[in-house]
């Protein structure tokens, strides 16, 4: 087994159809739409497949549904919360697509629009951008069918041209901004396009969700001519630590790369959540959905939504219930130990802050209901005590370990 960066390679984890040596790149490009590389960044032998634009919207692929399982459930609680700020709400889907798939399922612009029409009617404006005229026209029709033309601007343009214009307008406008960026390939979202949005004053609400095609990033590393683009997307050339085309990729490399990207976002004061999208459980992630917000509530909400989306995807594909219950118990005791650790470090921490500390350390590993259950279990087992004005074990209750020197035994 080959060793690198001090860890062993897990050769059983591979991108489903991603070549693992540079020589394999031209002939091994997959057919599916979501791993296409844009023409501008390609050697001539791997020219962009025009079929992607045509076939992508024929039916929604299972892994694409995971993106919806994040954006869809996020919008209602997000909108009902931010509307209280009183500022106009600006919703942007910069790589919007047709809006409706051949199988009738809704794409991101319509998920966003329908949630906004329902939860914040009259309080929002939306901008949907499409380079492809056919996609633009189809989306425009879907918007008209919903009688939403007054609040939606569909633009037939390149997102790269519109986003800087939008960023300039939003830099001094106090609007609450939610932006969704789901291009086919990563070179469409270079960091310098994101940066002006990240630099908006912290008193304005700015949330961005990016779908990052990590499979393409790995393949781009295989050809020197893409290296500058890679650095532009990730805002650093440190990616060379993780993207070495001579080696098999491992789960650690993929996570390392996404961690590097998240670190860049954190420099602007953003809290970052990430969720891998795999074609099948056991395969390396082809994509990551990456959410960024300055608000802790957004991170906590995304934690639960991404946890649910990810585990539903795993559960649907591998219904190993017996194993799951054993795993659940093991998880419970790891979790109890985690809660112990947080309380040992911060005695008297409020329950909500303890949860935030947990999510910051282990994003998407636990659901908030499991955390509350763990706190309750530990209180019932007299491993922790709480102080609260109402006498109830709620978010404001301050938590203390009864015996800080003791390990958790509750589960």
Ligand X SMILES: C[S@@+](CC[C@H](N)C(=O)[O-])C[C@H]1O[C@@H](n2cnc3c(N)ncnc32)[C@H](O)[C@@H]1O
Contact (Cβ atoms closer than 8 angstroms) between residue 274 and residue 290: yes
3-class state of residue 276 by DSSP: strand
213 binds ligand X (CB under 6 A): no
158 binds ligand X (CB under 6 A): yes
377 binds ligand X (CB under 6 A): no
Nearer residue to ligand X within complex by CB, 159 or 194: 159
Angle at 172 between CA 170 and CA 174, to 5 degrees: 75
Sketch the per residue contact string, 79 through 108, with ligand X: x for CB under 6 A, - otherwise.
Answer: ----------------x-x---------xx
Give min distance, CB of 209 to ligand X, in A.
10
159 binds ligand X (CB under 6 A): yes
Q: Which helix (H) or strand (E) holds 94?
A: none
Give min distance, CB of 81 to ligand X, in A.
23
Give the span between the Cα atoms of 257 and 268, in whole angstroms: 18
Angle at 184 between CA 154 and CA 200, to 5 degrees: 60
Place of tokens 């990616």: 239
Give min distance, CB of 56 to ligand X, in A.
6
128 binds ligand X (CB under 6 A): no
Give min distance, CB of 195 to ligand X, in A.
18
Pairing of strands 398-401, 384-387: antiparallel
Q: Which stretch binds ligand X (CB under 6 A): 22-30, 39-47, 123-131, 250-258?
A: 123-131
Closest CA to 154 of 167, 179, 169, 135: 135
Q: Which residues, 6 or more positions from 328, have their beta carbon under 8 angstroms from its beta carbon?
A: none
Among 130, 206, 264, 274, binds ligand X (CB under 6 A): 130
Nearer residue to ligand X within complex by CB, 129 or 170: 129
Sketch the per residue contact string, 171 through 210, with ligand X: x for CB under 6 A, - otherwise.
Answer: -----------xxx---x----------------------
Q: Which residues, 6 or more positions from 283, have their beta carbon under 8 angstroms from its beta carbon?
A: 13, 14, 15, 16
Q: Which residues bind ligand X (CB under 6 A)?
A: 53, 56, 95, 97, 107-108, 129-132, 135, 158-160, 182-184, 188
């Amino acid at each position: 087994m080959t060793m690198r960066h001090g860890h062993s390679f897990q050769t059983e984890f591979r991108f489903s159809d991603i070549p693992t040596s540079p020589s394999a790149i031209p002939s091994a490009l997959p057919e599916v739409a979501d791993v296409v590389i844009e023409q501008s960044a390609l050697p001539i032998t791997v020219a962009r497949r025009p079929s992607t634009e045509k076939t992508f919207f024929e039916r929604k692929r299972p892994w694409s549904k995971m993106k919806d399982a994040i954006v869809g459930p996020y919008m209602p609680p997000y909108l009902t919360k931010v509307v209280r700020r009183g500022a106009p709400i600006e919703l942007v889907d910069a790589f919007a697509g047709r809006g409706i798939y051949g199988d009738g399922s809704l794409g991101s612009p319509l998920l966003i629009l329908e949630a906004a029409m329902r939860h914040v009617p009259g309080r929002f404006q939306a901008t949907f951008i499409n380079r492809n005229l056919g996609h633009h026209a189809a989306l425009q029709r879907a918007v008209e069918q919903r009688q939403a033309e007054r609040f939606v601007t569909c633009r037939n343009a390149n997102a790269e041209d519109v986003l800087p214009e939008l960023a300039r307008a939003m830099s001094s406008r106090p609007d609450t901004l939610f932006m969704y960026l789901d291009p086919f390939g990563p070179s469409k979202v270079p960091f310098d396009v994101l940066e002006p949005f990240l630099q908006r004053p912290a008193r304005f609400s700015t949330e961005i969700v990016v779908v990052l095609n990590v499979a393409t990033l790995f393949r781009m590393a295989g050809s020197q001519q893409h290296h500058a683009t890679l650095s532009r997307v990730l805002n650093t050339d440190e990616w060379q630590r993780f993207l070495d085309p001579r080696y098999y990729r491992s789960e650690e490399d993929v996570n390392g790369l996404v961690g590097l990207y998240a670190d860049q976002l954190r420099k602007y004061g953003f809290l970052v959540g990430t969720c891998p999208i795999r074609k099948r459980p056991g395969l390396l992630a082809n994509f990551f959905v990456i959410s960024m917000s300055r608000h802790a509530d957004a991170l906590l909400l995304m934690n639960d939504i991404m946890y649910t989306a990810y585990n539903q995807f795993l559960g649907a594909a591998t219904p190993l219930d017996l194993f799951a219950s054993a795993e659940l118990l093991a998880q419970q005791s790891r979790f109890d130990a985690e809660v112990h650790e947080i309380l040992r470090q911060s005695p008297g921490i409020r329950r909500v802050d303890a949860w935030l500390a947990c999510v910051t350390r282990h994003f998407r590993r636990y659901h908030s209901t499991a955390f509350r259950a763990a706190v309750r279990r530990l209180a019932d087992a007299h491993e922790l005590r709480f102080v609260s004005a109402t006498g109830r074990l709620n978010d404001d209750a301050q938590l203390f370990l009864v015996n800080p020197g003791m390990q958790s035994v509750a589960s």
